[in-house]
Amino acid sequence: MRKIKKSPDPKQPPMSSHDVVITGIGLVSSLGEGPDAHWRKLTQPGFQPVLEAERFAPYTIHPLPEIDWNLQIAKRGDQRQMETWQRLGTYVAGLALDDAGIKGNDELCTTMDMVVAAGGGERDEAVDAGILAASESRNDRDVLLNEKLTTELRPTLFLAQLSNLLAGNISIVHKVTGSSRTFMGEEGAGVSAVETAAARIRSGQSTHVLVGGAFQTEHSDMLLGYELAGYLHRGPWKPVWQRQGSEGGGVVTGSGGAFLVLEQREHAQSRGRKIYAELGPVVSGRARRRRGELNAEIAALLKQAHLPDGDLLTISAASGAHAATAAEKAVLDANPTLAVRAFSTLTGHMKEAQFPFAVALAALAVDRKAGYPAFDATAERQFAGVPTTVLATTVGYHQFEGLGLIKAA
């Protein structure tokens, strides 16, 4: 029999607990780039979204704004090694690092941890279309595939498609090399990335972490990823809350990304950085939706987060997907203190970037001491106070849920 030496106090957490603060925000969406541009547009009452309804008809999307990649990716050689998704993510990560005063600081970059929420990169649409066209007159499709792929694929395209190569490119371009992890799994990956990064800081494992994701919707495969289950909204654009019963599945996608620099409070203070907000509890879950558990799961997560009393500005990453968004609305509506703002009405759904984006908008509101006007006046009520705590929610269009509280620093 092995004898057990009892720990001093098993209930005591093994590591000391540190506050997590947000010191850098990088944002890109159809609205523009950076926290200021987003704040300006999102606080403009009745602001109209930037839409592209022709290029992917019958689907409407929110396109990327004009971006000068050189501003964050200095080497053209690096830019050429990536497709738009990785370029976008690398660019947004650079914005966040710049904002936190970390970019170009070797010591801070080489000790910085990174958790990226990623899907996959762009395939070569022309090669794929050629193979599909040829498949109509060939029965030996596997041989056709070998013929075409061995001769037509660009060797480096594979690297532009690999999920973990967004993080890889961030390491190469911005020299973030403490550690590099890529989480996959749509919106849930973004939730887990923030949750894990925060847990690392709280436990003393990390002092500063780059966390976020990007989504490039202007590619047929990125639309196909939703449409294989009929998730995309068709017909005229409508705000997120107004899409029930419309043609299609309710999701309007957008290109964009969000990266955050999360930092241990003492670390941020010791280098004299501006703190946007404190990141409070982040909780996540996996409702078994086929068993009808989603409403109860969202309600349970709200309870776990220990919401403060009084009016609470709530930044929702609702996708518009009919079932998920109806469930989220029902649960949020049942909490009359919540003043909800669904930003995807104005940006479109950015998949893995949804939760980091929600946290960023929440942090901005806390920092600027003001809420956002309703993004959809028919469904979102007034919020007049100074938000000292803001809730950020993300309910996946198909699976996984999470939320977090962002508090005044």
Partner 1 sequence: MANLRDHMGRPIVAVTGIGVVTSLGVGKADNWAALTSGKSGIHPITRFPVDQLNTRISGMVDFLPSSSKGASPLTYEMAETAAQEAVSEAGLDSGDFGGPLFLASPPVELDWADRFSLYNSDKQDIGAERLLRVARALKELDIFETTQFGSIADRLADRFGTRGLPITLSTACASGATAIQLGVEAIRRGECDKALSIGADGSATAEALIRFSLLSALSTHNDIPEKASKPFSKDRDGFVLAEGSGALVLESLEAALARGATILGIMRGCGEKADDFHRTRSKPDASPAIAAVRAALADAGVGEDEIDYVNAHGTSTPENDKMEHLSLSTVFGERIASMPISSNKSMIGHTLSAAGAVEAAFSLMTMRESVIPPTINYDNPDPAIVLDVVPNKKRNAEVSTVLSNSFGFGGQNTCLVMAREPV
Question: What binding mask, one character per residue, do residues 8-27 give for partner 1 by CB under 8 A, x or -?
Answer: --x--xxx------------
Footprint (CB under 8 A) of partner 1, residues 275-294:
284-286, 288
Among 163, 314, 344, 354, binds partner 1 (CB under 8 A): 163
Out of 37, 51, 67, 162, the only residue in the binding site for partner 1 (CB under 8 A) is 162
- Distance from the first to the final alpha carbon of the chain: 52
We find the least distance from the C-beta atom of residue 64 to partner 1, in angstroms, to be: 19
Residue 139 is a binding residue for partner 1 (CB under 8 A): no
Query: Residue 253 Cβ, how far from partner 1 at the closest point, in Å?
Result: 13
State which of positions 357-396 bind partner 1 (CB under 8 A). Answer: 396
User: Is there a contact between 376 and 241 (Cβ–Cβ < 8 Å)?
Assistant: yes
142, 245, 336, 378: residue in contact with partner 1 (rule CB under 8 A): 142
Measured CA to CA, the distance from residue 2 to residue 406 in angstroms comes to: 46
Closest separation in Å from C-beta 240 to partner 1: 20
Q: Which two tokens stand for residue 83?
A: 């497709």
According to the binding rule CB under 8 A, does residue 91 interact with partner 1? Answer: no
- Asked whether the beta carbons of 189 and 183 are under 8 A apart, the reply is yes
Q: How far is the CB of 131 from partner 1 (least distance, A)?
A: 8
- Binding-site member from 34, 256, 320, 402 for partner 1 (CB under 8 A): 402
89 binds partner 1 (CB under 8 A): no
Q: What is the chain's length?
A: 409
Told to check if 75 binds partner 1 by CB under 8 A, we report: no
Give kind and range of the element (H or E) at residue 356. helix 354-368
Q: Which helix (H) or strand (E) holds 131?
A: helix 125-135
Alpha helix ranges (H) inside 203-350: 220-227, 265-270, 294-304, 322-333, 344-347
DSSP 72-97: T---HHHHHTS-HHHHHHHHHHHHHH
Cis, peptide link before residue 8, omega less than 30° from 0 = no
Show the site string, 48-67: x = touches partner 1 by CB under 8 A, - = not.
Answer: -----------x--------
Which of 40, 12, 42, 56 shows the shortest CA–CA distance to 254?
Answer: 56
Residue 59 or 237: which CB sits closer to partner 1?
A: 59
Work out which of 29, 30, 196, 253 binds partner 1, going by CB under 8 A.
Answer: 196
Measured CA to CA in angstroms, residue 146 lies from 33, 143, 279 at distances of 42, 5, 50
Q: Which stretch binds partner 1 (CB under 8 A): 37-45, 224-232, 328-336, 385-393?
A: 224-232
Q: H/E element holding 236?
A: none
Q: Which amino acid is at 112?
A: M
The residues that bridge with 315 in the sheet, in sequence order, are: 341, 392
- Cβ of residue 298: shortest distance to partner 1, in angstroms? 13
Q: Give CA–CA dist 375/387, Å, rounded.
A: 17
Q: Considering the complex, state which of residue 228 and residue 384 has its C-beta at the smaller distance from partner 1.
A: 228
Nearer to partner 1, 198 or 364 (CB): 198
* Listed ranges 20-28, 136-144, 264-272, 383-391: which one lies at the site for partner 1 (CB under 8 A): 136-144
Interface residue with partner 1, options 43, 105, 179, 269 (CB under 8 A): 179
Site for partner 1 in 299-358 (CB under 8 A): none
Of these, 72, 84, 90, 180, which contacts partner 1 (CB under 8 A)?
180
Residue that has been written with the tokens 């990125």 in this structure: 222
Indicate whether 245 belongs to the interface with partner 1 (CB under 8 A): no
